[in-house]
């Protein structure tokens, strides 16, 4: 067993915005043991999964894959990417495989083996398991999954743990492209496979998953290096002006969780309650005291599902008139009433977000007194067809102009439209599944395969 293992994470979400090349080159020059990166998230909302598309530009995805692939192949070390193409759906895995092939051909790279796995879960197979008394438990106070929930779902992915990555590496893969995965599993897998303790390995993944978000001052898309031993984890900022400090590393380890001390994965839970942080050197923080609690009984795999609400249009109106601003709640109420009368009996959803008042937080906004001299109202209309959604949104947006406020004698100046019409948007989707399913084998839902890039590679 090695005394330590070093992993570079170049970007907290591969392709979402391009990796910064200066710090990546500094990291690559340190000759790490692995290059690993997460490429997806449910933070982006349900649309990417439901519509089976990327929310990242193809050229940015290719840019980031190219940086990683060229460095990894030059140094003959493995490269792992998880949650391919933002959602980790099967088509996104295929997209990344094609990009890897494209990059390899363009740079005439020597032959290598690519491993990959799919994460999509067939709806009928899921129903079949439910018919055989498998209970699919809800997370975050959701009720158990029903067949009606499955029928409302366009696409389902299982969230993989370390297991398919370890299998792909065991099969000789030089590059691994994963479907939807737990963020930290992408980094923990090689460390666990190399014999390092699960506690340190999962903590390594937790702190590396968002790259330079664990460093200060803030700077996105910069590379960091994590070093794991049997006793500790060290994380080092690569950008010349960034440092991994006790505050930045501890803060990152705690964020994005209902309980900041716990990170759940397929197979157990990382407990960070007793973690101790020390400034190891100017750019590095050392962490000890983490624990891993294995699951009792069967491993449970998280399921994410997305279902379509309808087609969507967006309307944009601006308000500068002081009287209209003062009475904006009445304006919105009148607009909603007019929409209800016009579209009575129709299946629709419409929302009015008032930026400059409570557009971000809605009713949770603690500031109640408006001091804005101008407002922007975003109208979102959702209906079954494009035609219905367009009519709904156009009608709702125009009601802001037509609102009959008391004491208003004229018709001009109450509102302005940023564009002449309303804008077509991607269809609206919502999360239909945030559940876990027990499995007999952690690989049950994940089909791991390998293929050769370039000339035939000896197995």
- pLDDT (0 to 100) of residue 458: 43
**Residue showing tokens 């803030």:** 218
Residue 172 and residue 442: Cα distance in Å, rounded? 20
Residue 360 and residue 367: Cα distance in Å, rounded? 12
- Pairing relation of β-strands 79-86 and 34-40? parallel
Q: What is the DSSP letter of 31?
A: -
List pLDDT tens digits, range 9-20. Answer: 999 999 999 999
The answer to whether residues 275 and 289 touch, using CB atoms and an 8 Å cutoff, is yes
Phi, psi (rounded to 5 degrees) for 97: -65, -45
Question: In angstroms, how far is CA 437 from the centroid of its own chain?
Answer: 21
Residue 276 and residue 250: Cα distance in Å, rounded? 9
Instruction: Give 308-431's CATH code, choosing from 3.30.450.370, 3.30.70.600, 3.30.1360.180, 3.30.460.80.
Output: 3.30.70.600
- pLDDT (0 to 100) of residue 255: 79
Report CA-CA distances (Å) from 206 to 20, 159, 356, 372.
21, 15, 36, 41
- pLDDT (0 to 100) of residue 411: 65
Where in the sequence of the chain do the CATH 3.30.70.600 domains occur?
308-431
- pLDDT (0 to 100) of residue 405: 84
Across the 459 residues of the chain, what is the mean pLDDT of every consecutive 10-residue run? Answer: 94 95 97 97 92 95 98 98 97 98 96 97 96 94 95 97 98 98 97 98 95 92 97 97 96 84 94 96 97 95 97 96 91 95 95 95 90 95 97 95 80 80 96 96 96 67
């Amino acid at each position: 067993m090695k005394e330590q293992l070093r992993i570079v994470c170049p970007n907290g979400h591969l392709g979402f915005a391009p990796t910064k090349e200066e710090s990546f080159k500094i990291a690559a020059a340190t000759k790490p043991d692995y290059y690993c990166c997460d490429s997806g998230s449910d933070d982006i909302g349900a649309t990417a999964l439901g519509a089976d598309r990327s929310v990242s530009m193809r050229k940015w995805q290719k840019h980031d894959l190219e940086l990683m692939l060229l460095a990894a192949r030059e140094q003959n070390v493995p490269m792992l990417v998880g949650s391919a193409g933002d959602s980790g759906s099967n088509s996104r895995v295929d997209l990344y495989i094609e990009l890897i092939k494209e990059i390899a051909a363009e740079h005439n790279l020597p032959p290598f083996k690519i491993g990959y796995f799919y994460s999509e879960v067939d709806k009928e197979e899921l129903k079949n398991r439910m018919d055989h008394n498998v209970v699919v438990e809800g997370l975050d106070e959701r009720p158990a999954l029903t067949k009606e929930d499955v029928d409302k779902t366009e696409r389902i992915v299982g969230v993989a743990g370390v297991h398919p990555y370890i299998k792909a590496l065991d099969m000789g893969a030089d590059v691994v492209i994963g479907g939807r995965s737990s963020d930290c599993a992408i980094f923990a897998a090689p460390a666990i496979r190399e014999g390092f303790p699960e506690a340190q390995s999962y903590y390594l993944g937790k702190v590396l998953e968002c790259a330079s978000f664990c460093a200060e001052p803030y700077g996105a898309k910069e590379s960091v290096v994590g070093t794991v031993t049997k006793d500790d984890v060290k994380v080092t900022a690569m950008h010349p002006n960034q440092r991994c400090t006790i505050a930045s590393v501890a803060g990152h380890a705690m964020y994005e969780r209902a309980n900041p001390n716990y990170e759940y994965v397929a197979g157990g839970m990382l407990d960070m309650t007793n973690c101790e942080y020390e400034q190891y050197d100017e750019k590095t923080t050392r962490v000890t005291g983490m624990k891993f609690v294995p699951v009792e009984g069967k491993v449970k795999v998280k399921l994410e599902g997305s279902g379509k609400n309808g087609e969507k249009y967006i309307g944009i109106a601006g308000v500068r008139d002081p009287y209209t601003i003062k009475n904006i709640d009445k304006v919105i109420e009148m607009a909603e009433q007019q929409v209800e009368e016009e579209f009575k009996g129709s299946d629709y959803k419409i929302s009015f977000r008032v930026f400059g008042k409570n557009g971000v937080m809605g009713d949770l906004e603690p500031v109640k007194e408006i001091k804005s001299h101008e407002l922007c109202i975003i109208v979102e209309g959702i209906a079954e067809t494009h035609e219905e959604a367009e009519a709904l949104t156009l009608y709702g947006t125009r009601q802001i102009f037509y609102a009959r406020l008391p004491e208003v004698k004229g018709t001009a100046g109450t509102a302005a439209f940023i564009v002449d019409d309303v804008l077509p948007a991607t269809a609206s989707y919502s999360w239909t599944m945030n559940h876990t399913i027990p499995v007999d084998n952690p690989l049950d839902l994940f089909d791991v395969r390998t293929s050769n890039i370039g000339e035939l590679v000896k197995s």
